[in-house]
Chains A and B, each alone.
Chain A
Amino acid sequence: EAQVTQNPRYLITVTGKKLTVTCSQNMNHEYMSWYRQDPGLGLRQIYYSMNVEVTDKGDVPEGYKVSRKEKRNFPLILESPSPNQTSLYFCASSLAGEYNEQFFGPGTRLTVL
């Protein structure tokens, strides 16, 4: 089944404790992206990747890191999480081209205490 998977689905952590949210897709998509969803703000892009070893900042990159060493994986790293990073996070992937549908993972709900 074609899908985007994220792990973990739920995470409660404390300020400053490094964490990684994994994202993997099995559709051989070139493009991958991370978004955060906050009430009243819709989804905002954190980072994106056009292909392996090619990443760039989105609208809200502060406090996050990403890497794209393999085409299928695009982990999101929070090196020192803070409470303002409490949010719902989505990974998405698509074929190259802005007219292509993005496929979304199920989301990771992160709480930073």
Chain B
Amino acid sequence: AQSVTQLGSHVSVSEGALVLLRCNYSSSVPPYLFWYVQYPNQGLQLLLKYTTGATLVKGINGFEAEFKKSETSFHLTKPSAHMSDAAEYFCAVSLNTGKLIFGQGTTLQVKP
């Protein structure tokens, strides 16, 4: 069965530092992978997605993620954190029914 694991429920970085949020998935078929962001009191917004093709995917707000099939990973990175990046981040894998399987979420704190 497909599943998603996000390592670290809370990540804290200083403003300007590298952001790395980890996501590992299990899937019996080539996956479609997504990262969503949730700002306080808001719904989820798509950051980026991997479907096919280039394994390095660029998203909004300077985020990118690399699909590594051999490691079953889809880690999210941003070279330099901004205060406005503080939010909860969800990794998800999509099934052929359209259902999204979400990880548990990682709360990113950005310290000044």
Residues of chain A whose beta carbon lies under 8 Å from any beta carbon of chain B: 4, 31, 33, 35, 40-45, 48, 50, 56, 58, 90, 92, 94, 96-102, 104-107
Partner of B94, one of A50, A99, A107: A99
**Is B90 an interface residue, CB under 8 A from the partner?**
yes
Is there an interface contact between A105 and B99, defined as CB atoms closer than 8 Å? no
Q: Nearest chain-A residue to B96 (Cβ)?
A: A98
Encode B33-62 as 1/0 by CB contact (under 8 A) with A: 010100001111110010100000000000
Q: Chain B nearest CB: distance from A44 CB in Å?
A: 8
Listed stretches B12-20, B73-81, B102-110; interface member = B102-110
Q: Chain A nearest CB: distance from B30 CB in Å?
A: 11
**Is B9 an interface residue, CB under 8 A from the partner?**
yes
Q: Give bound CA distance, A71 to B18, whole Å.
A: 43
Is there an interface contact between A101 and B98, defined as CB atoms closer than 8 Å? no
Q: Chain B nearest CB: distance from A53 CB in Å?
A: 16
Is there an interface contact between B98 and A90, defined as CB atoms closer than 8 Å? no
| B44: chain A residues within 8 A (beta carbon) | 43, 90, 92, 104
Q: Nearest chain-B residue to A45 (Cβ)?
A: B99
Q: Chain A nearest CB: distance from B15 CB in Å?
A: 26
Residues of chain B whose beta carbon lies under 8 Å from any beta carbon of chain A: 4, 9, 32, 34, 36, 41-46, 49, 51, 90, 94-100, 102-105
| B36: chain A residues within 8 A (beta carbon) | 104
The 12 sampled A-B contact pairs (Cβ below 8 Å) are: A33-B98, A35-B102, A42-B102, A45-B100, A90-B44, A92-B100, A97-B98, A98-B32, A98-B94, A99-B32, A102-B98, A107-B41
Known pairs A43-B90, A97-B98, A102-B100 / 10 extra A-B pairs, C-beta < 8 Å:
A42-B103, A42-B105, A43-B100, A48-B97, A50-B97, A50-B98, A98-B97, A104-B43, A104-B44, A104-B45
Q: Nearest chain-A residue to B32 (Cβ)?
A: A99
Is there an interface contact between A41 and B104, defined as CB atoms closer than 8 Å? yes
| A97: chain B residues within 8 A (beta carbon) | 98
Q: Nearest chain-A residue to B104 (Cβ)?
A: A42
| B46: chain A residues within 8 A (beta carbon) | 101-102
Q: Nearest chain-A residue to B9 (Cβ)?
A: A40
